[in-house]
Structure 1
């Protein structure tokens, strides 16, 4: 900028120092605000078993995302525990001897590691225990459409129970969390043999590490 070209050396140094101090001050404040938003976002994410939440204002929006990455410590042992058939169908070995896991198998493994599953209910029996009980037609539709995804399942419940929109419906948070855990339980039973299921789950857990990473993105009109 032309204004800086007209400054002497001492003035430029003073300006540089003040700008650097301001930058550090604003970065510290921004980091504090981002940490607060991340904390609020994570609480919602944990309550709703979602991986993404967005906060809005008239100036823009902030997205908080929680992602999990699975690290299999002992692929050979996991292969034996899953059975060769499941391994061959759901795991892709690359030439670098890396393993690419089918998304549903990966979801099942993450559920085992985090404990986000239940065998207490089947989906059918749980629907009979809900505070708002579906009739036979609604129940049949829900069993078919519920997948264990918070956002999509909430839309399904709102639609099937005939609410005009989500604001008019109950929050369904407890029900949605149980549905998520039930669907994960179904995955576990689909992939693993019934005999010695509890022991197999514990053995698989010892083969895994699941790391969580939270990211935050600030978006606004740059112009």
Structure 2
């Protein structure tokens, strides 16, 4: 069926399409890079794992995740204690380790210096720009978890903001709540004695790498 087709024309068409494909890929990579840059800036500000942008044509999601690699599991086991290791880490027959999500969150927070011991959550709530009354404070202490999206909804709900346009952005507050909750997690897992040295020893056992993803979604029709 291809006998009558001009080979020279097919070659020219293939070259043109290949050039167009490469050009479009370069343009797409440039646009993706800009969206990733904007997304990562918002992710850093809000302490979320992903952000989604919308237009009339579709949406783009930017995600940022951290992969933890324990370089010295035996050393980390000694630091954390046998009891904590046995409770929160699963060892397979292939000597692979599966870490409890809370323990992994704590280890990542330590490696990234993503925590604070400067004040307790109760003390911080008393210093907020919008100060809670006693009932609101009790509720916030119970419900705030260090998750940007959920904590923002909690703040809006507890303080009675029904309209996002009139509510404070709470960006600074949410950032410190996240770091305070990570600090609480560290103190829940690690002994108070020689805490600073323990944190430094743990850092030497780990490496945490950032991985950014971008997903474009639209209606194919």
TM-score with structure 2 length normalisation?
A: 0.97
- Partners of 1:37 and 1:44 lie apart in 2 by 11
- Partners of 1:111 and 1:93 lie apart in 2 by 22
Where do 4+ consecutive residues of structure 1 move more than 2 Å? 4-7, 165-168
> Could you give the per-residue CA deviations for residues 189-219 of structure 1, whole angstroms, max 9, x where no partner exists?
0000010000000000010000100010100
Q: Secondary structure at the match of 1:171?
A: coil
- Partners of 1:40 and 1:149 lie apart in 2 by 20
Q: 1:95 deviation in Å? A: 1.1
Q: 1:6 deviation in Å? A: 6.1
- Partners of 1:81 and 1:187 lie apart in 2 by 16
Partner of 1:56: 54
Aligned-residue Cα RMSD (Å) equals 1.3
The answer (yes or no) to whether the contact 1:155–1:166 under 8 Å persists in 2 is: no
- Structure 2 unaligned segments of length 5 or more: list them: none
- Partners of 1:222 and 1:81 lie apart in 2 by 53
Q: Name the CA shift for 1:23/1:194 in 2 (closer, same or farther; >3 Å).
A: same
Partner of 1:198: 196
> Could you give the per-residue CA deviations for residues 82-124 of structure 1, whole angstroms, max 9, x where no partner exists?
1111111110111111000000000000000000100001000
Partner of 2:125: 127
TM-score with structure 1 length normalisation?
A: 0.97
Q: Name the CA shift for 1:6/1:63 in 2 (closer, same or farther; >3 Å).
A: farther
